[in-house]
Amino acid sequence: MISLPVVLLSFAVTFAACDHDKDVNPTGAQAPAQTAPADTTLPKLSLPPDNGPPPAIDSVRAMQYVKEIVAFGPRPIGSANHKKVENYITSHLNGDAVEEDEFTADTPEGKFPVRNIVAKFPGTRDGIIVMASHYDTNYPLRGTSYVGANDGGSSSALLLEIANQLRGKKRQGYSVWLVWDDAEEAIKPDTEVAFLDDSLYGIRHLAEKWQADGTLKKIKAFLLADMIGDADLNIDRDLNSTPWLEEVVYQAASRLGYQSHFFARTLPGLSDDHIPFVKRGVPSADLIDFNYGYNDVFWHTTQDTVDKLSPKSLEIVGSTMLEMVGILDRMDPLPPK
Ligand SMILES: [Zn+2]
């Protein structure tokens, strides 16, 4: 329904993340042949070892969560299925410290209840590492069988499994907060309303709230997972993400032997849930594979189904994120933003 918005301008490629484009001078570009390619080299970092046990992810259980989320059917905001998925997520966080951020979003299609869910796993070090995933499905596709198995399903399931791994263990490091953010998807097709004016409702609200209450300045890193279940896993490098944190992504993946699944491709200008945090100066990394099927053909279509996914991909991304936490815990000081 929504075509992949790719604008090729010589060196400048405009993509949009789980959602759409609207970034990187789509109209003002000129004389591409004279445009110098940006320096996209990642900074060299000498990172401390992660002395903890290697991260564990139960990929079979994580995939089971994907299947259960998808089994509710399409889950656009305002729907009964959406409510069921909210309850599904919170039911898996029984006994955890959960903060809910509920509000009413004013959208081009009217007002909708929005509910961000935050599970907090405290650490001994002062500061917070946030991991986030949206859980709603695309609203313009609400009348179809679209279930977003990869887009929203895979990453939300992975966070549930990461919660399993964090639960009941004393964290010798930063607190880890898991965020299932809501109303991430655009309400109107991006051909009608600019994506960043009509999307990310939940995570924008949370970033504003955390800025107002002082939480934001404690956040050391914002790690976003989006479309990470693709069996043909190729996590893209995103030039909107913080370069030093992207280097931590790559080194974490390399320590686990997974580097061949990372950063073969660089995408400037991903507009995704990390943007409200990037704008506020929080180091942020978007772990996304934005090539889902040949030429992204499964993205935002009814083809986004569980059969395209692999438990191994969930394991690769989940263990890389946990390895990143182990590295960040030992970095002192963190690089400047
Ligand atoms: Zn999407």
pLDDT at 59: 98
pLDDT at 6: 35
Cα 93 to averaged position of ligand 1 atoms, centre (Å): 25
How confident is the model over 232-263, as pLDDT tens digits? 999 999 999 999 999 999 999 999 999 999 99
Residue 257 placed within a domain:
yes
Residue 325 placed within a domain:
yes
pLDDT at 312: 98
Cα 272 to averaged position of ligand 1 atoms, centre (Å): 9
Distance CA 288, CA 302 (A): 20
Distance CA 148, CA 154 (A): 8
Cα 126 to averaged position of ligand 1 atoms, centre (Å): 34
HSE, CB side, 13 Å, CA atoms: give it for residue 333: 3
Q: What is the DSSP string of 140-195?
A: TTTTTT---IIIIIIHHHHHHHHHHHHTTS-EEEEEEEEEEE---S-SS-TTTS-G
Residue 218 placed within a domain:
yes
241: tokens are 């993400």
Cα 20 to averaged position of ligand 1 atoms, centre (Å): 8
Pairing of strands 219-226, 284-288: parallel
The CATH number of the domain holding residue 284 is 3.40.630.10
315: tokens are 């394991």
pLDDT at 38: 59
Residue 36 placed within a domain:
no
Residue 269 placed within a domain:
yes
Q: Which residue range forms the structural domain that includes residue 215?
A: 7-30+48-330
Distance CA 62, CA 60 (A): 5
Cα 137 to averaged position of ligand 1 atoms, centre (Å): 7
Residue 42 placed within a domain:
no
Number of compact structural domains in the chain? 1
Distance CA 252, CA 255 (A): 5
pLDDT at 190: 87
Mean pLDDT of the chain: 90
Q: Residue ranges of the chain with pLDDT lower than 70? A: 1-39, 337
pTM of the predicted structure, to 2 decimals: 0.90
pLDDT at 26: 29
Closest-CA residue to 214 (of 108, 145, 126):
126
Cα 197 to averaged position of ligand 1 atoms, centre (Å): 15
pLDDT at 336: 76
Residue 304 placed within a domain:
yes
Closest-CA residue to 305 (of 184, 181, 151):
151
Cα 96 to averaged position of ligand 1 atoms, centre (Å): 28
What residues does the ion ligand 1 have nearby, CB within 5 Å?
18-19, 151
Given the structure tokens 């002395």, which residue do they identify? 51
Cα 186 to averaged position of ligand 1 atoms, centre (Å): 8
Residue 324 placed within a domain:
yes
Q: Report how far Cα 93 is from the mean position of its chain's Cα atoms.
A: 19
Cα 132 to averaged position of ligand 1 atoms, centre (Å): 14
Cα 19 to averaged position of ligand 1 atoms, centre (Å): 4
How confident is the model over 153-193, as pLDDT tens digits? 999 999 999 999 999 999 999 999 999 999 999 999 989 99
pLDDT at 39: 67
